[in-house]
Structure 1
């Protein structure tokens, strides 16, 4: 297989990356030994993501997927982030070389096709500390930190922050219209959030839901485990944070999100990225100072846990084909 064919195949795997509302806000330019990643500003969610944080973070996840897919083909990736100065839409240029590929990146490759965003109740089985350490190490490899939301009091503060974000966005101009638009895509559309991928709150759930409220929810919750009176689960909540808070940090946070989600999938864990609290200035500050109480900047909350017993396999979410996201010279 030629170098260009290898790069093209890797970009096709990068299209499987998660993105806010499955908007897939990226464009790619493929050359003989390089590939460029560009933001697709036309896919910005103005009401949901006014500062483009979610959009750039989504592109960062795709960038990391690309690096993983290249490593699986025995190729090394030399990444220049924000290479074009005033062209803020040109997020990265990746030079592709032969040589010793990163084995830790290559090990994540099988998880690309297996990963799903699971919005259902998870298991009551705790996530082992050694699994959480693996995820922490993966985030650190990409230049970010992964902080656990530990203890009942801290989790309660996070729940309050997420609830406040949902309340504020409910009245934000354009937010409801965007949610409607991206959950009611046209027939044969290959983006957006399908009702088949969203579950209603489980019967017997005792707390406020941490998940974003979508207009339609048709995904069945798994049956409640015997011996557990509550529908609550043992999912862990982790927060990706960066030292600074500019578009480069958002891009790197997206790379960390990809690494954490793929590693968790490889361990057999279910995952849910939660961006809502970071989309509102007030709740983002609250997450930083009131919940985490750290100087670093939170970029994304990630929910991880064992899939609940009896949970059916999640459907594959649609993706745009390569032709529709390519930039031509």
Structure 2
């Protein structure tokens, strides 16, 4: 009798634990990857009409740390793109260089969306130099898109907009990328517009850039200010993902589905542990599994218009890669370290290392990335609604 009661009690406890685990799993989105209001912009991206249709495409663009640093002011035939400088990365992006690259990505999506709706888009960029983050951040005009009637052109890059996602998972290191695809990327980069694309597939060159990526990550995670500025954007809890609809999440961290599920129901790790994982993933998975590493270089690293053009180039290349079954991921730590050394008035160690790799002092890398065939699909990142970003 006592044994039966004991077994019944143990069963009740076990069922309670299973029920609690299921409740917690549901609460933390273990079974809801890519679902909820934070992901609706990916599903409804082509539903709007007029200028709002362009904004719907723009908000799905690549951007640093998923900060979504954009605001849009609309008129019938004109859209102003503003940098939302309050959504900055602090010491990770002290001159808003990466922010402007992300804004360029949004501009490219918007131009593609305009053509798909029979509109010609004339883009005017605001000239000037990138400056330190303002003490009182406020929206700052960076580009104007003026629309006029034109032929309807819905090309494959436009169709790829809702399928383009940053893939931080392992790539297939043994599967080479055809030379004609690499040539297409060079063409898409728009090298005649003051940009230069460098792709490293030979082992010796690839290793040099990969070593710089890992070394820069090591330096960054030893900088507590940079760790703190990065961590404040990370959304560990599912409720925060749905509330803020921005930032990096566990689902987009490159983890296997099982590990991501376990991480969601585990206690949130410390910022230091989070960033140690980032280093481990960069060193042990992302760099060694990529058959190609690359750089986008500009002539003036802190020129606003050149940063936006670099973003447009990245978005075009990533969309094209998506159409060809390729995966891409920014690994921009070396250039982030260039900015940080400049901010602290330190010796430009990172800039010199990149310059030695480029071999031409007239070109300054502004964006570093990896390219390869994916080993698994990845979910989308959360996005704010169109209504949240229109002025």
| Aligned equivalent of 1:266, options 323, 335, 348 | 323
2:161 is the counterpart of 1:106? no
1:207 aligned partner = none
Output the CA distance in 2 between the equivalents of 1:89 and 1:198.
Answer: 31
Output the CA distance in 1 between the equivalents of 2:50 and 2:351.
Answer: 43
2:164 is the counterpart of 1:115? yes
2:289 is the counterpart of 1:233? yes
Note the C-alpha offset of 1:315: 1.4
1:297 aligned partner = 364
- Cα distance 1:278–1:232, how it changes in 2: closer, same or farther (>3 A)? closer
- Give the secondary structure class of the aligned counterpart of 2:72: strand
Output the CA distance in 2 between the equivalents of 1:68 and 1:258.
Answer: 11
Q: Which runs of 4+ in 1 moved over 4 A?
A: 83-88, 213-218
- Cα distance 1:187–1:216, how it changes in 2: closer, same or farther (>3 A)? farther
1:288-314 CA-partner distances (Å, limit 9, x unpaired): 312121221111112111122xx2x31
Segment of structure 1 superposing worse, 37-46 or 151-160: 151-160
- Cα distance 1:286–1:154, how it changes in 2: closer, same or farther (>3 A)? farther
Unaligned runs of 5+ in 2: 1-47, 132-137, 257-272, 282-286, 339-347
- Cα distance 1:159–1:233, how it changes in 2: closer, same or farther (>3 A)? closer
- Give the secondary structure class of the aligned counterpart of 2:309: helix
Note the C-alpha offset of 1:252: 0.8
Output the CA distance in 1 between the equivalents of 2:141 and 2:128.
Answer: 6
More helix per residue: 2
**1:7-156 to 2 correspondences below 5 Å:** 7-82=51-126, 89-100=140-151, 103=153, 106-123=155-172, 124-140=174-190, 143=193, 144-156=195-207
- Structure number, greater radius of gyration: 2
CA RMSD of aligned residues (A): 2.8
- Give the secondary structure class of the aligned counterpart of 1:131: helix
Output the CA distance in 2 between the equivalents of 1:284 and 1:217.
Answer: 22
2:389 is the counterpart of 1:325? yes
- Cα distance 1:293–1:214, how it changes in 2: closer, same or farther (>3 A)? farther
- Give the secondary structure class of the aligned counterpart of 1:109: helix
Note the C-alpha offset of 1:128: 0.5
2:307 is the counterpart of 1:255? no
- Cα distance 1:84–1:5, how it changes in 2: closer, same or farther (>3 A)? farther
Output the CA distance in 2 between the equivalents of 1:65 and 1:192.
Answer: 20
2:251 aligned partner = 196
Note the C-alpha offset of 1:88: 8.9
Output the CA distance in 2 between the equivalents of 1:96 and 1:41.
Answer: 26
Output the CA distance in 1 between the equivalents of 2:247 and 2:332.
Answer: 16
Q: Is the 8 A contact 2:296 2:366 kept in 1?
A: yes
2:235 aligned partner = 184
Q: Structure 1-normalised TM-score?
A: 0.82
2:380 aligned partner = 316
2:374 aligned partner = 307
Q: Structure 2-normalised TM-score?
A: 0.70
- Cα distance 1:234–1:181, how it changes in 2: closer, same or farther (>3 A)? closer
| Aligned equivalent of 1:243, options 290, 295, 299 | 299
Note the C-alpha offset of 1:171: 3.2
Note the C-alpha offset of 1:43: 0.7
